[in-house]
Structure 1
Amino acid sequence: MKNAEIKVFAGSSGKSFANKICDYLDIELGQSEAMTFSEGNTFVRINETVRGKDIYLVQSIGMNPNDDFVEILFWVDAFKRASANSVTVIMPYFSYAKGDKKDEPRVSIRARVCAEAIELAGADRVVTMDLHSHQIQGFFKKPVDHLFALPVLSEAILQMNLSDIVVVSPDAGFAKQARKYADYLGTSIAIGDKTRKHHNERAEILEIIGDVRGKTAVIIDDFSLTAGSIVELSKCLIERGATRIIACLSHLLINEAAVRRIEASAIEMVIGTDSVENPHLIHSPKIKLVSVAPLFGEAISQIHNQASVSPLFERVPNKVIASSTASLFSEP
């Protein structure tokens, strides 16, 4: 696709992802730079004219959420002050989406604060994927396009030619989305009864609801930080007769300890997306990545051409699937 009017720029945590988007769209990445001074101060600069252009800024709020978030604000402000016609924030992962409610006294609803700050900086639109809660879109007054990794991850599962699959949700809260995976794959579903008593990122699996005996269990979740939940769930699944365990995660925020935990577990493979730049995933034999950059590239094309993005929520073009799963069985 050739379209000189689409201008894609990258923040510090979005360069690799933005380059993949540009490859898909067959355009050049915009020229810019970001610097961090010795005391931690962030400085951003656009190195080409953007006057009257529609800008697409790529930056996940991921492994360094505070720095990533502040940098987005500075980039949006810089583009607006440079007279860009519009600024769309392409945010594959929104870390602070986990702070979506006030469920105990004297706490901040962090997702709402971040949403308001991004809009006050001047963003005209946000494109993101697999928010922790769908209602977070309501924290924004500007349009939000909420994409799903479901079709890309589901196609990756189908390419593995697994037999007797059961989709497993780690808890009741994710069961509705897991049901969509099961419908896409034409399988049954099981649900883990999980409780999390503290903010220490540790969860306890109490029970498995559904039949998993003799089946390949495909655990589906939106993200993982410590891999604790999926590892504990895999133990319960094996105890209840599951023969193979595969995990599919939209966002991989895991650290080195979590990678080791996965490698020592019954989980045969973790399939995740490249929504976050995570150096801890490199060379792990159990972790395989599919790219959702083509999905975001297609969304940018649809938005820029004033076409509907909603068809991408359930099914995506074959060219997106081909580009996304091309490296499934290669090293991350």
Structure 2
Amino acid sequence: MERHTEIKIFTGSESVKFAQGICEYLNIPMGKSQVIKFSEGNTFVKVEETVRDKDCYIVQSIGSNPNDNLVELLFWIDAFKRASANSITVIMPYFSYAKGDKKDEPRVSIRARVCADALESVGADRIVTMDLHAPQIQGFFKIPVDHLFAMPVLCSHFKQLGVQDLVVVSPDAGYAKTARHYSNFLQVPVAIGDKNRKDHSEQAEILEIIGDVKGKNALIVDDFTLSAGSIINVAKGLKEKGAKDIYACVSHSLLKGETLEKFYNSPIKKMLVTDSVTQPQNIDKDRIEVCSVAPLFAEAIKRIHHRESVTELFDKIPDSVI
């Protein structure tokens, strides 16, 4: 029997604009679908076209409303499965529950593993995501996981600012390895913040800056920010150590409302973020630049669909993606 090979892209309610960017890159129409939110909070999803024997890609970040986003995604996968889709690939630019990657205190859930089990059990065949909080989360899944990186996209955009005398700064030792990738890409030295987090309040104390930052411009890099607390504290520590202008590159930014105002009042001159999570309409574009990674995910989809290697996208991405 001949397989239907056309790519079918659908979107959940969290990532409509992101999915549109993917479809524009691939020059294909968005799949027809419907989401209804009932008054008591119940979610209804419907695929409004035939997907029998088709390879389907559902785009949904687990982002600004993670519980609703996750449940809706599970319903989408189930809908495609019951409609006899040939395969179901989840395009999840941001996986919020990746932060729950370990049992580091008594009587707590390993939330990322619970989510992985749920996605698999309902029928997902493959996951494509970006900048997981911990790479080992790929091991929570028995299905293939393609783990993309925002670093090449963010670095390419940052280089256009023409900042000289630069040092890359990791906010803590845990992110030092990724910060080293940034420093290698930009051909600059690296420094590390010594961070201490005492509880789950989303606030961390910066104890020391390890490395030479005096008289240099600094680029703080991190995988996500919820309150901007860590990067702002690092920025203050850098100023105390004699750093000049301070910038930031963050893969997933969930700043809004008061946390956005907190960032605007910080020493950080400019922050580059991706569109893995939908950004507020009223952001100050002089302070926050949104770099789209939809083309990166579109390229990954194209390669997966045509049974080609995705490895090249991890470190060196095609010019068309920038």
The answer to whether the superposition gives a TM-score over 0.5 is yes
Asked if structure 1 preserves the Cα contact closer than 8 Å seen for 2:5 and 2:55, the reply is: no
Q: Distance in 1 between matches of 2:221 and 2:150?
A: 11
Which residues in structure 2 correspond to 1:275-294 (within 5 Å)?
Answer: 275-279=276-280, 282-283=283-284, 285-294=286-295
Paired with 2:283 and 2:29, the residues of 1 have a C-alpha distance of 27
Shift of 1:284: 5.3
Report the Cα offset of residue 281 of structure 1. Answer: 5.7
Match of residue 235 from structure 1 = 236
**Is the CA contact 1:259–1:284 (under 8 Å) kept in the aligned structure 2?**
no
Structure 1 residue 224 and structure 2 residue 202: aligned?
Answer: no
1:303 pairs with 2:304: yes
Could you tell me how far 1:124 is from its partner in structure 2?
0.2
Q: Retained in 1: the 8 A contact 2:246–2:269?
A: yes
Match of 2:74 in 1: 73
Which whole-Å deviations, capped at 9, do the CAs of 1:81-108 have from their partners, x for residues lacking one?
0010000000000000000000000000
Q: Is the Cα–Cα contact under 8 Å of residues 100 and 112 in structure 2 kept in the other structure? A: yes
**Partners of 2:193 and 2:210 within 8 A in 1:** yes
Q: Which residue number in structure 2 is paired with residue 330 of structure 1?
A: none
> Secondary structure at the residue paired with 1:279?
coil
Runs of 4+, deviation exceeding 6 Å: none
Counterpart in 1 of 2:199?
A: 198
Deviation at 1:262, TM superposition (A): 1.2
Deviation of the 1:6 alpha carbon: 0.5
What secondary structure does 2:268 align onto? coil
For residue 4 of structure 1, report the CA deviation from its aligned partner: 7.2
SS at match of 2:36: strand
Q: What is the TM-score with the length of structure 2 in the denominator?
A: 0.97
Cα drift, residue 282 of structure 1: 2.9
CA distance in 2, matches of 1:96, 1:89: 15
Matches within 5 A, 1:87-106: 87-106=88-107
- Quote the offset at 1:254 in angstroms: 1.4
Q: Percent identity?
A: 61
Tell me by how many angstroms 1:299 deviates.
0.2
Q: Report if aligned partners of 2:303, 2:309 keep a CA contact under 8 Å in 1.
A: yes
Write out per-residue CA displacement over residues 106-133 of structure 1, whole angstroms, 9 at most, x where no aligned residue: 0000000000100111000000000000
Q: Distance in 2 between matches of 1:83 and 1:131?
A: 30
**Distance in 2 separating the partners of 1:201 and 1:164:** 31
Q: Distance in 1 between matches of 2:175 and 2:257?
A: 26
Partner of 1:317: 318
What are the superposed Cα offsets for residues 207-234 of structure 1, whole Å, 9 maximum, x if unpaired?
0000001111000000000001111111
SS at match of 1:243: coil
Q: How many residues align?
A: 319
CA contact (8 A) 1:247 1:269 kept: yes
Partner residue in 2 for 1:39 = 40
Query: Does the 8 A contact of 1:89 with 1:125 survive in 2?
Result: yes
1:16 lines up with 2:17 in the alignment: yes
Question: Partner residue of 2:189?
Answer: 188
Rounded Cα–Cα distance in structure 1 between residues aligned with 2:65 and 2:286: 25
**Cα gap change, 1:95/1:36 in structure 2, threshold over 3 Å: closer, same or farther?**
same
- The alpha carbon displacement at 1:283 in A equals 3.8
Structure 1: runs of 5+ lacking an equivalent: 322-332
User: For the Cα contact (< 8 Å) 1:63–1:278, is it kept in 2?
Assistant: no
- Are the counterparts in 2 of residues 170 and 230 from structure 1 also a CA contact under 8 Å? yes
Tell me by how many angstroms 1:280 deviates: 6.4
1:259 CA drift (Å): 1.1
- 1:144-170 Cα offsets, whole Å, 9 max, x none, are 000000100010111111101100000
